Structures are given as C-alpha cells and as structure tokens.
Amino acid sequence: QSALTQPASVSGSPGQSITISCTGTSSDIGAYNYVSWFQQHPGKAPKLIIYEVSSRPSGVPDRFSGSKSGNTASLTISGLQADDEGDYYCSSYRSGATLVVFGGGTKLTVL
C-alpha cells in the first residue's frame, strides 16, 4: 500500500481535461509545498512535470498544472493529447523516517 493515494486509472478524449488527485496526510502533503508529479511512459524512466505543487520545469507544456488544498494535491492536464497516455505519480516530502513518499500511480488512457 502506497503512502499517497491516487486513483488507479483515469481516461479522457483528445482535447478534454482530466484531473488526478493525490491524497496524503498532515505529515506530508499537508505539511510541505514540496509536491511533485512525474509522467512515465512504458519502459521509460519517470519524467518530472510538476514540482513545488505548481511549478513546471522548462519544456513542460502549460497544459500541465498542479494545485494543492489541505492534504490533497491535484494534477490537471488540459487539451489531452495521445502522447499524454501513460502513468502519473505524485510525490511529497514527509516528516519522520520516510523522507520521500510516492503515490501508487494513475494510468491515464486517452480514448
């Protein structure tokens, strides 16, 4: 069981928007603005797409956006494209022995 809770799957049609939630606790998401999101295509390494809740690395389209409310973070992808299909993971710092926690991952299907 992963430390952060994500839906197992989401889907959407090209051009639509989807949101993936990531629920943690007051020891991780609720305590820090150090939430990151990663995209992973099959057989590839994860790629950072959002850091510090809502910041985008250079080269990541502004169709990807992040937010946080309380103990829950969210990733929104607007204008879905076929290449957005893949697995998405959230991550947060956590106080205590386990420094970094990940969500279980969400499989995005573009219909």
Partner 1 sequence: EVQLVESGGALVQPGGSLRLSCAASGFTLSSYWMHWVRQPPGKGLVWVSRISDGGGSTTYADSVKGRFAISRDNAKNILYLQMNSLRAEDTAVYYCVRDFGANRMDVWGQGTTVTVS
Based on CB atoms, which residue is closest to partner 1, 45 or 82? 45
CB of 77 to partner 1, least distance (A): 19
- State how far the Cα of 26 lies from the Cα of 9, in Å rounded to an integer: 25
Measured in residues, the chain has a length of 111
Based on CB atoms, which residue is closest to partner 1, 9 or 16? 9
24, 38 contact by CB (below 8 A): no
Based on CB atoms, which residue is closest to partner 1, 13 or 58? 58
- State how far the Cα of 70 lies from the Cα of 13, in Å rounded to an integer: 29
Residues forming the site for partner 1 (CB under 8 A): 2, 32, 34-36, 38, 45-48, 51-52, 57, 89, 91-93, 97-105
